Structure 1
Amino acid sequence: MTAPHAHGQGPAAHPGAHPAGHPTEHSAEHPAGRAGGMGGQPRTLPDGTPTCKLIAWEVTRSCNLACKHCRAEAHPEPYEGELDTAEAKALIDTFPAVGKPIIIFTGGDPMMRPDVYDLVAHAHGKGLPCAFSPNGTLITAELAERIRDAGVDRVSISIDGADAASHDAFRGVPGAFEASMRGIGYLKQAGVPFQINTTVTRNNLQSFKDIFRLCERLGATAWHIFLLVPMGRAAGLADQVITAQEYEDVLHWFYDFRKTTSMHLKATCAPHYYRIMRQRAHEEGLAVTPETFGMDAMTRGCLGGTGFCFISHVGQVQPCGYLELNCGNVRQTPFPEIWRNSTYFRQFRDQTCYEGKCGICEFHKVCGGCRARAWSMNGNHMGPEPLCTYEPGRRSR
C-alpha cells in the first residue's frame, strides 16, 4: 500500500493470529453483544475496579495444525498441567464476581479437549455469553450440533488466504482450507453464527478484498482482521510484519470498507484504529456515537487488563495471549482477586504508567497502543506502540 489516506481503496488496489477472536465483544446486533457486550453492564464494579467484559480462555494448548503465527507454538500432543474438569468448572463459577464477561473458549483448538462442551454448558448455565474459537478443521455435522446445544453464541474460524494454497501455506497443513470450509458448512447447517478472523501479513495484504468477498459468500456474521504480534512461531516472521505506514493505510481502508457491507468489521490488536475512526469521523462531521458506529463507539483499542484478560491452559492469567506477563494463577489465587489486584493490570489502568508517546497521546483513552507489540518488539510492555505513525498533538480531536 502506498497512499496513507487512500479513502475507498483497499490493499488490493496497490501493487507490490491469535489466541482468541474476540468473537462477540463489539457486535451490537449479536445476542452476546447485547447480553454481555460493552454497553450491557456497568463500567466498574462496586469497588471501582473496571468490569471484566471479555475473557479468552485457553482451555487446551493442543492443536492439530502448525500455524506459522501461533503464539503458543502448539502441537497435537496433550499438554501436562491443564486445568481438569473440576478446576475448570470452579473457575467458571468465579467469573460472575467480576461482571458478566463473554467467555471465549480457545486454544490451541478447544475441540481437542473432550469435556469442552460440558464447560461451555456450565458457563452458559451461569448466564455467561459463550464464544468458541476452533480452527474449523475438526467440525463435523454432529459436533456442530453439540457446539450449538452447549450454548455457544458464535464461532470464530481463522482464514488467512482467499484460496487453499495461500491459507494452507500459512496454517502449515495441506487440506486445512477445505477442512475449514467443510466445518463452516456444518455450522451453517446447525444454525450456528460464525465469524472469520484474518491475520494481516505481507503475503495476504494484497488479497484482502478477495478474502472479504469470501467472507460475504460464506455468510459470515463478522470479519475481524488481526495485526500480527511477532511472538511464538510468529517471532520468525519478521519479514511478514508490514510497516507502521502500511498498517495505517490498512486501517484507513478498513474504515472506508465497513460502509460497504452489513457484515460487522473489526480490527483486533490494532488499537490505533479507534484513533483513526475518530479522526475520520471528525473530518466527515460525524459524532462518534452508538447510533453512528455501533459498539465501536463505546470501547477502546487495547483492553488488556482494563476490560479483557487471557487465562492459559495451566491457569496463568495474562493481559492477553500475546503478552506473557504472569498476573497470577487461578490455582493459587481466586480469579476475581487477580482481576482486581494484579500489579500489571493496575499499570494498564493508569495512563501515567505509559511511556513515550502513548503516555501523552490525546487519543490514549480510546487507543492505548498494543502492549504485546511494545513488549515483543521493544522489550517494554509500557512503551510506545511500535507500529503507529501518529505523533501526539499533530491533529485535534
Structure 2
Amino acid sequence: MFDHIDTDRRPVVLIWEVTQACELACRHCRADAQPARHPDELTTAEGKRLLEDAADFGENQLVVLSGGDPLTRPDLLELAAYGDDLGLRMTITPSGTRSLTPDRVADLADAGIKRMALSLDGATAETHDAFRGEASFADTVAAAEAAADEGLPLQINTTVCADTVDELPAIRDRVRDLGAVLWSVFFLVPVGRGRVLDPIAPDRAEAVMEWLQAVADEERFGVKTTEAPFYRRVGLQGATDEAHTTASSSPRRAGITAGRGFAFVSHTGEVYPSGFLPESAGNVRDRSVVDVYRNADLFEELRDPDAYRGKCGACEYRHVCGGSRSRAYATTGDPLASDPLCPYVPEGYDGPLPEGFDELSSAESEDSRSDVAAF
C-alpha cells in the first residue's frame, strides 16, 4: 500500500489529535482522555493552517482526525471538509458513543471523510465493555452499520493485551460480519492509562503474528499491525527465499514505525513521532509539520535503522521491521533501544537483551501460550 512513498520525505500516516476530550474513560487510553476540551487546543484557524501544511507533503496525503473523541469539536465537519478540499485523504477515529448517530455518520461522509475507524476490543458487549470500562459496544456496532449504509469504508481497531488476546478469533468474525475493509491490530504500549494493563509475552505475540498472517490470506479484509512491525518479519520468514531476498533488501519495503512513515500532532500542536512516543520535535504553531517531519533530529534518527541499539540494531530485518520505537521508549526511555515484545534474536548476537524482555517472556504460562499457538 505504501511501497511507493518515500518515508524520508512524507509520512504514510499523519494523525492529528484534534482534542483529548471524550465521554469515555477507557482503561487503555493513550491520551488519558478527559471530559472537557483543553483550553489550548489548536483553534479552527490553526487547524486549517496545519491541514494546508500537510497538503505540502504531496498528493493524497492521509490525515487521521483522532482524539479523545473528535466529535466533541463543533468545528469538526468544517475541518474535515477543508482538508478534503485541499486534496487530503481525510479519515477519522471517533469514539463509539451515543453521539455517533447515523445522522452524524452521514454528515462525516458528506464532509469528505474517506474512512472511519472504530475500536472493537471484544466480540460481545460483555467482553468489549468490560475491557473498556464503558458501555460502548452497542453504539460501536450501530455506528459500523451506519457506515455501511452510507458506503463509508470501515476500519476496526483492536488492542492486544493479556485481557483481550483470547478474544481475537471471535473479534475476527465480527470484523468480517461488519464488512470492514481493514483490521488494525494494536499491540499494547504502556503509555497513558495503558500502563496498568498487562502485555502478552513475546513468544505469544509471535504466535499471534503467525495467526494474523493466515487471517490476512484467508479474509477479504486487510490486516495490519500497529506498534508491532515484526509482523513483517514473521511474514518474510514464511515467504519464499526469492520474496525474502527482494523484500529484505529494498528500503521501499520498510514497515511504518514512529517517525518513519508516521507522525502525530497533539491537540496542542506538538509534533511527535507517534502518539505512543510523546517526545516533541516541535510545534505546528511555530514550525511547519513538513519541516519537523523532514528535518527534526529526532525524526531523522528514527528513520535510520542502522542507528538502533541492541538486538534491533543487529537484526537483519531492521530495515523492514525496526521494532516498535514507541515501546522501546516507553520501557527504557530510549527510542533507539530494542523492542522488548519481539522474541527474535539475530543469529550470532550475544549482546544485551531489551530491558523487560525476560519479564515479558515469563509473564505467561506455557499453557496460555499454547492456546494462541494453536490458532
The TM-score, its normalising length taken from structure 1, stands at 0.82
Match of residue 381, structure 1, among 322, 331, 335: 335
What do the CA deviations read for 1:158-177 (whole angstroms, capped 9, x no partner)?
00001111111122212x10
Structure 1 counterpart SS, 2:40:
coil
Match of residue 91, structure 1, among 45, 50, 59: 50
- What is aligned with 2:96? 136
Q: Distance in 1 between matches of 2:69 and 2:294?
A: 29
1:360 aligned partner, one-letter code: A
What do the CA deviations read for 1:40-78 (whole angstroms, capped 9, x no partner)?
55x26xxxx432222011011111111111111101211
Structure 1 counterpart SS, 2:56:
helix
Structure 2 counterpart SS, 1:281:
coil
- What is aligned with 1:23? none
Match of residue 127, structure 1, among 87, 93, 100: 87
- What is aligned with 1:72? 31
- What is aligned with 1:340? 294
Go from structure 1 to structure 2 and tell me whether the alpha carbon gap of 1:52 and 1:301 turns closer, same or farther (over 3 Å shift): closer
Q: Distance in 2 between matches of 1:136 and 1:235?
A: 22
- What is aligned with 1:185? 145
Structure 2 counterpart SS, 1:57:
strand
Match of residue 81, structure 1, among 40, 46, 50: 40
- What is aligned with 1:161? 122
Q: Distance in 2 between matches of 1:287 and 1:305?
A: 25
1:306 Cα shift? 1.9
2:149 aligned partner, one-letter code: Q
2:171 aligned partner, one-letter code: I
Go from structure 1 to structure 2 and tell me whether the alpha carbon gap of 1:335 and 1:286 turns closer, same or farther (over 3 Å shift): closer
The TM-score, its normalising length taken from structure 2, stands at 0.87
1:299 Cα shift? 4.3
Contact 1:50/1:306, CA 8 A, preserved across alignment? no
What do the CA deviations read for 1:95-117 (whole angstroms, capped 9, x no partner)?
12223420000001111111111
2:130 aligned partner, one-letter code: A
Pairwise mapping of residues 25-64 of structure 1 onto structure 2 (< 5 A)?
Answer: 26=1, 38-39=2-3, 41=5, 43=6, 49-64=8-23
Contact 1:59/1:107, CA 8 A, preserved across alignment? yes
Contact 2:10/2:290, CA 8 A, preserved across alignment? no
Contact 1:274/1:301, CA 8 A, preserved across alignment? yes
Go from structure 1 to structure 2 and tell me whether the alpha carbon gap of 1:170 and 1:367 turns closer, same or farther (over 3 Å shift): same
Contact 2:131/2:163, CA 8 A, preserved across alignment? no
* 1:350 aligns to 2:304 (yes or no): yes
Go from structure 1 to structure 2 and tell me whether the alpha carbon gap of 1:272 and 1:288 turns closer, same or farther (over 3 Å shift): same
Q: Distance in 2 between matches of 1:54 and 1:286?
A: 26
Structure 1 counterpart SS, 2:155:
strand
2:210 aligned partner, one-letter code: H
1:108 aligned partner, one-letter code: G
Contact 1:302/1:370, CA 8 A, preserved across alignment? no
Q: What is the RMSD computed on CA atoms of the aligned residues?
A: 2.0
1:298 Cα shift? 5.5
Structure 1 counterpart SS, 2:287:
coil
What do the CA deviations read for 1:260-280 (whole angstroms, capped 9, x no partner)?
111111111111111111111
1:123 Cα shift? 0.9
2:312 aligned partner, one-letter code: C
Contact 2:237/2:244, CA 8 A, preserved across alignment? no
Structure 1 counterpart SS, 2:55:
helix
- What is aligned with 1:370? 324
Contact 1:271/1:368, CA 8 A, preserved across alignment? yes
1:313 aligned partner, one-letter code: H
2:189 aligned partner, one-letter code: V
* 1:249 aligns to 2:210 (yes or no): no
Go from structure 1 to structure 2 and tell me whether the alpha carbon gap of 1:222 and 1:288 turns closer, same or farther (over 3 Å shift): farther
- The alignment-based identity, stated in percent, is 37
- What is aligned with 1:263? 221
Match of residue 282, structure 1, among 240, 257, 282: 240
Q: Distance in 1 between matches of 2:310 and 2:4?
A: 34
Q: Distance in 2 between matches of 1:268 and 1:288?
A: 24
- What is aligned with 1:5? none
Q: Distance in 2 between matches of 1:303 and 1:365?
A: 11
What do the CA deviations read for 1:342-372 (whole angstroms, capped 9, x no partner)?
1100111223321111112110110011011
Q: Distance in 2 between matches of 1:214 and 1:338?
A: 39
Q: Distance in 2 between matches of 1:349 and 1:40?
A: 16
1:288 Cα shift? 8.3
Structure 2 counterpart SS, 1:155:
strand
- What is aligned with 2:134? 173
1:247 aligned partner, one-letter code: A
- What is aligned with 1:226? 186
Q: Distance in 2 between matches of 1:256 and 1:180?
A: 26
